[in-house]
């Protein structure tokens, strides 16, 4: 079957309403979404910036009378804590760590002592099982070759373990309280986050602290998502609450929180309208079965002289080991700024005009396959010339000959099909115009003519 297009009026009757609706729909979506909603008339630039933090807060702890006490040395935790005690290290780039819980191992000195019974592969019954100078990867020292008595830190039962050369007594990783953290009061500590940003493409620079002449502003304001969303001073408990978590629960084992400072600005508007928005996310897995929370070990000195980690008493070298649990706050700066530019506007406009060409294709799909009157549209759009109402069905060669006749005579195919006219020189349906042009007769050589 061969189909030939026709300009029937019925085609327009069915197609025009559909084509018009599709064209309007494409134009509306493009204008509303691409140009206005996505600001297709603007050139954009990504934010660049940095953030620093400054914490404040003091707490006093005394767990001697706690009902969930686990440590045999509660006096180690009776003390005052200030910023220099719980912020480790003192300064970070785009982040800060606040210690909320800890395991203290003070006054460790080099020597030989029993390994922690909780360590794998350190239990023994005889000296033979403790190979000298062999280290335990997850342990605290090097075996001396002796099997010695020890007390299990959790069950308080007597046991035997390998002796090790290490900092003694070795660290016993048992949190001092069962169901709470030492520094629960850190919930009320505050942090000032100073954030400076720029959009280099537009020469735009700004920071997150409002330009105000009130000297008491930073002393009195506290961030609140509803009441004061632009204050750069945050209560730690508020930050954790914004993630949907409990500060006191997170303080036991620690965690990781991301503070996302978003700068999405329309620079076609006023400078003052480019303002930050804060978003808070808990970045670690809350319900991890093993290795949950956030902790690390570090060394401290009573006098904090420089970066010293050790101290001496009567010619004996000591160190204070602290395993710190706490919350790591990571500050992330994101955002995009846009400003009017004729180039992206023209590019998006040209793309919209090109999309209108899809209306014709979509129109054909709709009216040919979806509308109830698709049969009439097919009859109006296509005309079958391969069959003859008054005669047998034509072959492909006969239909091809009709097409070539139409090119030469400029007569409609329907008229040639009905009258069975063959113009002079065609030689019937099996003699094509191509043959006459490319194969001249023997009596006279003919030059190819242009159609």
Paired tokens of 262: 């978003």
Residues near 191 by beta carbon (within 8 Å), at least 6 away in sequence: 53, 54, 55, 56, 96, 233, 234, 236, 329
DSSP state of 443: S
* C-alpha to C-alpha distances, 401 to 215, 431, 437, 449, nearest whole angstrom: 96, 8, 15, 19
- 56 annotated ligand-binding residue: yes
Ligand-binding site membership of 316 (annotated): no
Distances (CA, A) of 261 to 274, 333, 336: 13, 5, 12
Whether the CB-CB separation of 254 and 328 falls below 8 Å is answered with yes
Whether residue 409 contacts residue 31, with contact meaning beta carbons closer than 8 Å, is answered with: no
Sign of dihedral through CA atoms 292, 293, 298, 303?
negative
Token duo for residue 350: 């040209």
Contacts of 310 (CB under 8 A, 6+ apart): 299, 301, 317, 318, 319
372 token code pair: 């109830």
Of 183, 180, 231, 175, whose CA–CA distance to 59 is shortest?
183
What residues contact residue 237 under an 8 Å CB cut-off, 6+ apart? 187, 188, 247
Residue 376 CB-density burial (10 A; 0-12 exposed, 13-18 middle, 19+ buried) = middle
Q: Is position 201 annotated in a ligand binding site?
A: no
**Annotated binding residue 54:** yes
φ, ψ dihedrals at 442, nearest 5°: -75, -30
DSSP state string for 356-386: TTHHHHHHHHHHHHTSTTHHHHHHHHEEE-S
- Of the CA atoms within 13 Å of residue 73, those in its CB half-sphere come to 12
* Residue 50: HSE in the Cβ half-sphere, 13 Å Cα cutoff: 3
Check the annotation: does 323 bind a ligand.
yes
Pick from 256, 63, 81: nearest CA to 177: 63
Closest CA to 53 of 335, 328, 253, 244: 328
Instruction: Report the distance separating Cα 344 and Cα 34, nearest Å.
Output: 11
60-67 CB contacts, 8 Å cutoff, 24+ apart? 61/182, 61/183, 61/185, 63/176, 63/177, 63/182, 66/177, 66/180
Q: Which positions make up the binding site?
A: 54-56, 190, 323
Q: Which positions make up the binding site for ATP?
A: 54-56, 190, 323
């Amino acid at each position: 079957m061969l189909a030939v297009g026709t300009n029937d009026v019925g085609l327009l009757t069915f197609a025009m309403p559909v084509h018009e609706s599709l064209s309007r729909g494409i134009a509306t979506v493009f204008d509303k979404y691409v140009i206005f909603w996505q600001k297709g008339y603007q050139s954009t630039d990504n934010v660049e910036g940095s953030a620093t933090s400054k914490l404040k807060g003091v707490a006093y702890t005394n767990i001697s009378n706690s009902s969930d006490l686990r440590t045999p040395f509660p006096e180690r935790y009776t003390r005052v804590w200030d910023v220099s005690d719980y912020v480790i290290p003192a300064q970070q780039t785009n982040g800060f760590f606040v210690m909320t819980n800890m395991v203290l191992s003070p006054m460790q000195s080099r020597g030989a002592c029993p390994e922690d019974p909780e360590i794998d592969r350190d239990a023994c019954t005889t000296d033979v099982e403790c190979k000298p100078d062999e280290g335990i990867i997850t342990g605290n020292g090097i075996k001396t070759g002796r099997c010695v008595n020890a007390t299990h830190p959790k069950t308080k039962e007597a046991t035997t373990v390998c002796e090790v050369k290490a900092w003694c007594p070795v660290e016993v990783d048992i949190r001092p309280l069962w169901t709470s953290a030492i520094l629960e009061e850190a919930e009320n500590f505050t942090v000032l986050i100073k954030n400076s940003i720029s959009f280099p493409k537009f020469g735009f620079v700004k920071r997150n602290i409002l330009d105000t002449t009130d000297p008491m502003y930073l002393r009195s304001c506290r961030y609140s998502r509803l009441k004061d969303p632009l204050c750069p001073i945050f209560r730690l408990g508020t930050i954790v609450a914004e993630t949907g978590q409990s500060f006191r629960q997170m303080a036991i084992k620690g965690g990781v929180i991301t503070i996302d400072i978003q700068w999405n600005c329309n620079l076609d508007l006023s400078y003052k309208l480019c303002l930050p928005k804060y978003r808070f996310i808990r970045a670690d897995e809350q319900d991890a079965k093993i290795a949950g929370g956030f902790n690390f070990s570090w060394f401290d000195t009573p006098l904090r002289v420089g970066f010293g980690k050790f101290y001496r008493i009567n010619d004996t070298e000591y160190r204070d080991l602290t395993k710190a649990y706490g919350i790591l706050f990571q500050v992330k700066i994101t955002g995009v700024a846009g400003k009017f530019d004729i180039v992206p506007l023209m590019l998006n406009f040209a793309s919209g005009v090109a999309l209108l060409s899809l209306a014709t294709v979509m129109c054909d799909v709709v009216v040919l396959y979806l509308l109830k009157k698709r049969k009439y549209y097919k009859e109006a759009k296509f005309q079958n010339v391969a069959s003859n109402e008054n005669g047998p069905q034509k072959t492909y060669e006969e239909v091809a000959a009709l097409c070539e006749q139409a090119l030469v005579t400029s007569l409609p195919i329907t008229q040639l099909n009905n009258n069975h006219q063959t113009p002079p020189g065609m030689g019937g349906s099996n003699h094509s115009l191509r043959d006459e042009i490319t194969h001249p007769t023997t009596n006279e050589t003919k030059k190819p003519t242009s159609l």
